[in-house]
A and B are shown apart, each in its own frame.
Chain A
């Protein structure tokens, strides 16, 4: 499972890997081309074989969220972007909806004495004065203390224009994409294009493929992959190649010893025994849950500091406890 071969995404990684699922080169070419003859942005390079092999491990089992926890239920809210998927001359109008929500929380900094929130100001490092937004420009630090200065219009001039298109350039086997490059998923919904949308869902599903291409969101162009997830088209933005460090940069990895056969056999046995279906529900965010619980308690007026009731105060309760424990034990 790798993004493979394209210089753009995997510099220096073309030949070193030992994928066991490789097919002869000729077949590969034939299988993945046929969409466009352009310079590949993402090329599969590997595997002309079916995406889902019988002996492959099961895909992730993502549990259905409990309805009250669902980030975006039923009614889709406002789309985050709308435009169309463009495959050659074919357009499929779609709306983009956010799919993940960040459940992390942030605290505000308060003044301990009066509980009032603190605010950040832009303070000139030279004369210590607070500078209004209007008097600011952007600078890129080229050397320590030396800046190239930009006015907002200068930056605007080079920002990519969003042309409201998700340009599809290739189709690849979804399982050949390495999650290392995945950034943010979005749900694509048909925009009065149910038939074309459904066709795309079905064909991608049947062939086990995903579409790769580009999208411009706000001011940034992203490589993207569009795949089928639970009956929907999901678009995932990918990181740019230079944002991801290749393991090849680490010398240490170049000279790993070959494991002994006996050790390998043992390790395989252990892994087989520990194999199971993966469920994200097994991994709750305990810190977040704990803090949220504390917040609820604070709101309900409870003190968080652990306090034991004084024995005198709870005398009757203690006596009842002792008697009941004795009764239950005697049964």
Chain B
């Protein structure tokens, strides 16, 4: 008795290649595992990626080998991939952004060894108008991840006071990202000013926190980076893998989960797969205005 197995071709239009190529040599994780990860995360990651211009960070031969950023849809991009064409001032030409609007596109990206997926703070439809504010919080040694968590809670508290709901995730590297979903119509200058003002306020009140770029690398400080709130800037998408030895994930967390003792490495390709509630679920149901 053999059951008729569906073939891969029945399930996806993506032509998968080099599935056994090692992507994370330290853990011997193959491309097949990377693709499987993204397939499993698709129900969580697709709603966030929808219509958001992507920047691919590709590692064709795996982490530790040659890598490159790619904003343009590469040659041979299949038909099922949505494209958003837009003139880029920095590049002085039209850029054909990939929009990850379906499962096949996500699988295709993984197959391209785009381990990291980065997205803009605005969606393609309203490209000049951000719908997210980003607080990028990074510690400089000897300060630790625990210290970063403390600062994140302060930012969270300030935002709550202003009546705004915020969402937190690990960057997957050493810091934390706090994201505030916004109503339509804001300009980048406005959200940058907002993030800067809040950062300055916290820096004044809190020892070790800096809000200005020249001090961002000072030892023993934590930098609240407001400069990421700019046209064309990107952040690692929630649930994006990162190109680290430990195959970390930029992992969304609930504010309750954000406690001393957790480490960015705890959230990786093998641990994030668990089926509990998505802490960022419904993020785009909260369209907020900046209290001016």
**Chain A interfacial positions (CB closer than 8 Å to B):** 66-68, 289-290, 292-293, 296, 300, 302, 306, 308-309, 311, 313-314, 316-318, 320-325, 327-328, 331
Contacts and interface: CB of A to CB of B under 8 A. Distances in A.
B11 A311 contact: no
Contact of B32 (A66, A316, A322): A316
22 contacts: A67-B91, A289-B76, A290-B76, A292-B75, A293-B76, A309-B8, A309-B16, A311-B5, A313-B19, A314-B8, A314-B16, A314-B32, A316-B33, A317-B36, A318-B11, A320-B39, A321-B39, A322-B6, A324-B103, A325-B103, A327-B42, A328-B103
B17 interface: yes
B88 to A, nearest CB: 11
B43 A324 contact: yes
B8 A311 contact: yes
Interface in B1-41: 5-9, 11-12, 15-20, 32-33, 35-36, 39-40
B93 interface: yes
Nearest to A292: B75
Nearest to B32: A317
A300 B15 CA distance: 17
A68 B74 CA distance: 14
A39 to B, nearest CB: 48
Interface string B63-104: 000000000000110000000000000011110000000010
Nearest to B33: A316
Nearest to A307: B17
B279 interface: no
Contacts of B17: 302
Nearest to A331: B43
Contacts of A317: 8, 16, 19, 32, 35-36, 39
A144 B106 CA distance: 66
Contacts of B18: 302
9 A-B pairs with least C-beta separation: A320-B39, A321-B11, A320-B36, A317-B36, A66-B93, A327-B43, A293-B76, A293-B75, A324-B42
A89 B277 CA distance: 85
Contact of A289 (B7, B75, B94): B75
Contacts of A296: 75
B56 to A, nearest CB: 15
B92 A67 contact: yes
A323 B36 CA distance: 11
A320 B103 contact: no
A292 B75 CA distance: 9
B232 interface: no
Residue from the set A289, A292, A328 with the largest chain B CB neighbour count within 10 Å: A328
B60 interface: yes
B284 to A, nearest CB: 15
A67 B8 CA distance: 39
B16 A66 contact: no
Given A302-B18, A316-B32, A325 B11 contact: yes
A93 to B, nearest CB: 31
A300 B65 CA distance: 13
Given A290-B76, A317-B8, A320-B40, 16 more contacts: A66-B93, A67-B92, A67-B93, A68-B93, A289-B75, A292-B75, A306-B15, A311-B8, A313-B32, A314-B16, A314-B19, A316-B32, A318-B6, A323-B40, A324-B40, A328-B46
A302 B21 CA distance: 11
A302 to B, nearest CB: 6
B102 to A, nearest CB: 9
A300 B33 CA distance: 21
A61 to B, nearest CB: 15
A320 B46 CA distance: 15
Given A292-B75, A309-B16, A325-B103, A300 B43 contact: no
Contacts of B91: 67
B32 A311 contact: no
Contacts of B32: 309, 313-314, 316-317
Contacts of A66: 93-94
A296 B17 CA distance: 14
B47 to A, nearest CB: 9
Nearest to A284: B75
Contacts of A324: 39-40, 42-43, 103
B281 to A, nearest CB: 12
B17 to A, nearest CB: 6
A323 B103 CA distance: 12
A92 B167 CA distance: 67
A328 B105 CA distance: 14
A302 B92 CA distance: 33
Contacts of B11: 318, 321-322, 325
Contact of A308 (B8, B35, B60, B92): B8
Contacts of A311: 5, 7-8
Contacts of A308: 7-9
A233 B224 CA distance: 54
Contacts of B7: 308, 311
B36 A316 contact: yes
Contacts of A314: 8, 16, 19, 32
A226 to B, nearest CB: 29
A300 B60 contact: yes
Contacts of A323: 40
Contacts of A300: 60
Contacts of A289: 75-76
A325 to B, nearest CB: 7
A67 B90 CA distance: 12
Nearest to B37: A320
Contacts of B20: 313
